[in-house]
Chain A
Amino acid sequence: MTSSLASRGPLSRVRSRRSGSRVDTVVVVTGAFIALLVITAVFAPWIAPSDPNFGSILSSNQGPSAAHLLGTDSFGRDILSRLIYGARLSLLGPALIIVISTSIGTVLAIACAWFGGWFDQVVSRVADILFAFPGLILAMLAVAMFGPGLVAPVIALSIAYTPYLLRVIRSEALRQRNLPYVAACYVGGLSARTICTRHILPNVTPLLIVQATLSFGYALVDLAAVSYLGLGVQPPTAEWGIMVSTGQSSILAGHPQESLFAGVMIIVTVVAFNLLGDRLAARQSTGQS
């Protein structure tokens, strides 16, 4: 009897360890790409080959060359350097949105799951109403009220993204809340705060990471769209959305490089975040069962 007990533990442990550490190429590649992007943004002054805001009209709209690897824009500025510096704001904006909306969404979601009743009803209903507003419209409204820049669209999009995250996390938190281990904690005398922060939160965290990752891609696109429309940070600041927009005038003259490369950066980054999020979600659903 004891031998059957002893053999059961190690067996299941081996199995779980193997499936847990299986190398996933998609996760590795997209993760490495995102890490590289973040490093580039942080160390932009050391990495960028030239000043992103300095250019000479004499060298405007040049094609790729040894001096300017991706060419220059209509002001003669080095496009590669502008992309590198642009990564800062282009990533910071969505990062702020995700941090704000997941924090608020998670706190509210766990509170809804814990308290239930009228609190849950009211919060969920307000979230439903907010959910009906497209994020971009909210962002435009915010800019109309508070003026263009990074802050207004970030706040507006944070508000727009919160209901989505709230919904997804609430349903998982509710599932956890109704599992017997939470009842055991309650009967054990743990305070509501301890149960929520030490037990429910860690158990919704994997889902939270997946949703934050996926939402990051969408937030990046939305914020780039806001900049493209001229409602976000203003030129001559380097930012991918602005670059797509200012590069437009050169496209007809046969110099698509600025819009093209900025657009490619946006697309590749978004795809990387979405692939990573999808893959993490898939791993989670197989790993848990």
Chain B
Amino acid sequence: MTENVPALEVIGLRKEYRVRGAGSTTAVASSGSALLGHPSKRRAPTSLVAVDDVSFTVAQGRSLAVVGESGSGKTTVARMIVGLERPTGGQVVVGGRQRSWNQMGSRERRRRAREVQIVFQDPYSSLDPRMTIRACLDEVLRLHFDWPSERIDARIEELLDQVGLDRRQADGLPRSLSGGQRQRVAIARALASEPRVLICDEAVASLDVSIQAQVLNLLSDIREATGVSYLFISHDLAVVRQVSDDIVVMRRGQMVESGPTEQILTQPGDPYTQRLLAAIPRPGWHPTSSHDSGPEQTPSTESS
């Protein structure tokens, strides 16, 4: 059944954030109407479209990269897929099953946890500082699998092995680990529930280059071993080239281009992609436009 069904499908995804008009930020929170849960009538909130009509498909065992400048809505897409944010419109289909945002009981969330997992950018805040690495993995495994303790322990060892951590490190708290090691823990925790799709939101961006390479190798080894699909969010095109089969380029919440990695990186069709490529010149790349037009840094508001 899972043969032809894509691991993850996103259809016409949209997210609007309500943002309060300039200069009236604090007053609204303490007004009576806010207390009763009605949006304030006097200061009409404007809306910011963070994600607008984004659709893509990640096939089983494939790796899709989402690239775009800061503020282009990449993280918002990821948060909607894992259920941390409610889409304003559109659908998220995981393994052929469409997700609804109306029934988010703990049973449903437990089920979803076995479908999609995420690794966040900042390794320093994405682990509970008061829980040992072992306890952190143990908690997830006990939640999802009805295994005897020996089997759980064996699985913990296996996961630690898979991400290249040793037992001594597993019994310590996150603060005794380096950023790269913590990110390995975050990956192990994400893999513990055996998800179909692993989202990496700038998962290597805060690591230094040699550690980045190690973690990226680790990720491709894991894909080979487990057949997990990746949704790889990054603004670093060098990283993207290394890990992804396909690319989606986002700008101001919209998709501007998508296609196989090699094609997008060598013959970008959209001027925006060309500018992204030109902004990070590397040996072996062929920037198609000149240096004077760098990527735009300002996030977009569709209201103003």
Given contacts A118-B37, A121-B35, contact A189 B178 (CB under 8 A): no
**A7 → chain B closest CB, angstroms:** 10
A184 to B110, Cβ gap below 8 A? no
The answer to whether B172 touches A13, judged by C-beta atoms less than 8 angstroms apart, is yes
Interface string of A156-194 (1 = CB under 8 A from B): 000000000000000000000001110111111111101
Instruction: Flag whether A8 is at the interface (Cβ < 8 A).
Output: yes
Interface residues of chain A: helix, strand, loop or mixed (majority): helix
In the complex, what's the smallest C-beta–C-beta distance from A188 to chain B, in angstroms?
5
**Residue A234 interfacial (CB < 8 Å):** no
The chain B residue with its CB closest to the CB of A4 is B210
When chains A and B are docked, how far (Å) is the Cα of A191 from the Cα of B108? 10
CB of B122, distance to nearest CB on chain A (Å): 6
For the complex, is A236 an interface residue (Cβ under 8 Å from B)? no
Contact present for A9 and B113 (CB under 8 Å): no
* Cβ-neighbour of A12 out of B83, B176, B214 (below 8 A): B176
A117: CB under 8 A from chain B? yes
Contact A16 B125 (CB under 8 A): no
Q: Which of B13-21, B126-134, B151-159, B223-231 contacts A (4 or more CB under 8 A)?
A: B126-134
Most chain A beta-carbon contacts within 10 A, residue among B34, B112, B176, B180:
B176
Taking a contact as CB atoms under 8 Å apart, the answer to whether A188 and B140 are in contact is yes
* Contact yes or no, A181 B143, CB < 8 A: no
Question: Residues of B within 8 Å of A, CB-based: how many?
Answer: 47
Q: Is A284 in contact with chain B by the CB < 8 A criterion?
A: no
**Nearest CB in chain A to that of B111: its residue:** A189
- Check if B113 sits within 8 Å of A187, measured CB to CB: yes
A253 at the interface (CB under 8 A from B): no
* Contact B175 A184, beta carbon cutoff 8 Å: no
Q: How large is the interface on A (under 10, 10 to 19, 20 to 34, 35 or more residues)?
A: 20 to 34
Inter-chain contact A198/B120, CB cutoff 8 Å: no
Q: Are A187 and B82 in contact, CB atoms less than 8 angstroms apart?
A: yes
Within 229-250 of B, Cβ neighbours of A (below 8 Å) are at none
Residues of A contacting B139 in the complex (Cβ-Cβ under 8 angstroms): 190, 194, 198
List the B side residues contacting A198 at CB < 8 Å: 131, 139
CA distance A39 to B37 in the complex (A): 51
Q: Let me know if B84 and A183 touch, CB within 8 A.
A: yes
Contact yes or no, B177 A188, CB < 8 A: no
Residues of B within 8 A of A (CB): 34-37, 82-84, 106, 109-114, 116-118, 120-122, 125-131, 139-140, 143-144, 169, 172, 175-178, 180-181, 186, 189-190, 192-193, 210-211, 214
